[in-house]
Structures are given as C-alpha cells and as structure tokens.
Amino acid sequence: MQAFNESRLAYFFAAVQCGTVRAAADKLDIAPSAVSRQIALLEQELALAVLERHRRGVVPTQAGQLLIDYYREQTAHQSDLLSKLQEVRGLKRGHVDVALGEGFVVDFMQGPMAHFSQRHPHISVTLDLAGTNDVLRRVAEDEAEIGLVYQPPHDPKIVSRAVQRQPMRAIVRANSALQPPERFTLADLASRPLALTHSSYGTRQLLGLAEYAAKLKLTPALTSNSINVLKQFVRSGLGVTVLPEFAVTAELESGELRAIPIDDPVLEAAEAHLITRTGRKLSVAANRLVSYCSSLMQAFQVTR
C-alpha cells in the first residue's frame, strides 16, 4: 500500500465527528463536494472504504476507525510538541481543555483556577460541563486533557491522577421545619420528595447501585442535568437531594444547607477522580493545572 496524503484526514475526521458530509462542510466552511472529493481520494489512495454512508449520515468502517485513532494520536502528539516548545520559551503561552461535572465547578474555580490564572495569566482554559459518561468520552478522545468526575466506571483508556473518597450525603435545608435524622437510610430518602440527576451522571449511577443492593427503588420528584437546580429544589423547601459535600461547600459554609450522612456502604465508598487519557503526555500547562487540582480542590482532600 502506498503512502496517503494525511491532510485528507481532517476532512474525513470532520465528516465522522459531525455525522454528515454536509455538516462537516459547514464546519470547515467549504463546499460539500470538496469534502466528498477529499474522502474519495483518501479511499482511492488506501484502496479501502473508510466510510459507510447511510440515509441519516456516515459512520466509519473498521479501516476508518483506525484512521480516526491515528488522527487523534497525531493531533495529541502535535499538542505535546507545541507544549514542549512552550516550555523552552517558558510557561508564558498555552491553552488547557478541561471537562468536568457541574458539582466540581465552584471547587475548581475557587482553588486551582484562581491559583493558575494568577500565576499564568496568558494561559487560557476552556471549561466544559458534562455528565460523567461524556467527560470520560471527551478525555478518551483527546477533546479534553483533564477531566473531573465522580465515581466513574472503569475504562482502560482512562487513568486517574488523583482519587479521594467523597461519600454521598443527603442535602437538606438547614432551617427546615421537618427535622432530619442524624443519619439517613435509603428508606428515609424513598419516603421524601427527591431531586436527582440524570442517569448519565456518576451520582445517579451510584444511587442505582445502592438501590439494587438494597432492593429498593427511589422515585425522584424532580430529575435535572443541573446541580444548581437540585440545590434550588432543597433551598425552596421542596425536598432533599443527594450529592457529595464538595458540590455544596459554599452553601454548607453559609449555613444555608446541611449534609447528612447516609447509612449505606455503596454511597460511603464513592470517590472523586481527576482523570487523563492513558498514555497521553500532557502539556506543561495541563500538568501544572493537574497539580493544582489535586492539591487545592476540596474534592481531593480527606473527608471528615
């Protein structure tokens, strides 16, 4: 097989990422025919089909998936090289992509982000909120260098750079007329109005495991993809939510909310994880931010 023109991979990758040739053309700001031609030339050079075309869009063939993995690796290597060149110049310019669950936001902004931006004002950070599954995907596919997730499932493409036990707590309004118990049970939670996250979130997946082990079903009164919505549900006196303490640090310190232990071994063993892709060499800036996250975030400190 002869060598192929690697510049064509960008068109192929855009088509797979966007789902259709037309959407890729819009993203690249060129004509759809130009995208189709580059992909056709790539297939001609390789003597292999790289896309399967369906009515709803395109998906990669087995050969195409190999090319996608190669393209991502090359892009990551280029980023690593640029990082090393930045290191030669000094840590003065650069960019870091971070994906995280919403519960980590306040902790991240008050700790590592404040520290990082003060010491490296010319290094920019992109911060994208996502559910647990999407954070794992973004890190595995090199869309983000760093991920912050709660109780992630095992994934061989992911390595945890920092891990700390962070039990789930019942979060209640501090001045509620309904006096909460000193320790909740799952049965206590089941008897109260609950606000919970969607199933793509680590908190909800963990609760599912606890429910299965206890042979009990929690039926939320409210389901949301926003931690702030869950907290507002509790503030409004509508019921209880279940979150790790680091997700409500500000509200606990102000005395607005209370975090009550839950008597359940599954929920007690929950962990916060700082993740990167297995085998990826992080940029100098990203490594510095990883260090700040592990040392400054409440999520990675020993719980009471």
Residues 279 and 212 in one domain: no
Question: What gap in Å lies between CA 74 and CA 68, rounded to an integer?
Answer: 10
- pLDDT, the chain, mean: 89
Q: Is residue 33 assigned to a domain?
A: yes
Residues 209 and 289 in one domain: no
- pTM comes to 0.71
Q: Can you give the residue range of the structural domain that contains 214?
A: 168-268
Q: Is residue 79 assigned to a domain?
A: no
Q: Is residue 248 assigned to a domain?
A: yes
Residues 31 and 156 in one domain: no
Residues 197 and 286 in one domain: no
Q: Is residue 78 assigned to a domain?
A: no
Residues 121 and 151 in one domain: yes
pLDDT at position 187, please?
A: 93
Among candidate residues 239, 248, 247, the one with its CA nearest the CA of residue 220:
239
Residues 172 and 108 in one domain: no
Q: How many domains does the chain have?
A: 3
CB 93 within 8 A of CB 86: yes
| CATH number for 40 | 1.10.10.10
Among candidate residues 5, 32, 10, the one with its CA nearest the CA of residue 21:
32
| CATH number for 143 | 3.40.190.10
* Across 204-218, average pLDDT: 93
Q: Is residue 199 assigned to a domain?
A: yes
Q: Is residue 82 assigned to a domain?
A: no
Residues 258 and 176 in one domain: yes
Q: Is residue 220 assigned to a domain?
A: yes
Residues 126 and 257 in one domain: no
pLDDT at position 93, please?
A: 67
CB 41 within 8 A of CB 10: no
Residues 130 and 257 in one domain: no
Q: Is residue 221 assigned to a domain?
A: yes
**What tokens appear for 147 in the block?**
């991920």
Question: What gap in Å lies between CA 12 and CA 63, rounded to an integer?
Answer: 12
Confidence label for 184 from pLDDT (cuts 50, 70 and 90): very high
Residues 114 and 154 in one domain: yes
Residues 151 and 184 in one domain: no
pLDDT at position 86, please?
A: 65
Where do we find the tokens 């907290």? 231
Confidence label for 265 from pLDDT (cuts 50, 70 and 90): very high
The beta strand positions in the chain, using DSSP E, are 51-54, 57-60, 94-100, 123-129, 146-150, 158-165, 168-173, 194-197, 222-224, 240-244, 257-261, 271-277
pLDDT in tens, 272-289: 999 999 988 888 888 889
Give the three-class secondary structure for 10. Answer: helix
Phi then psi for residue 59, to 5 deg, are -135, 150
Please give the single-letter amino acid code of residue 236: S
Residues 185 and 133 in one domain: no
| CATH number for 193 | 3.40.190.290
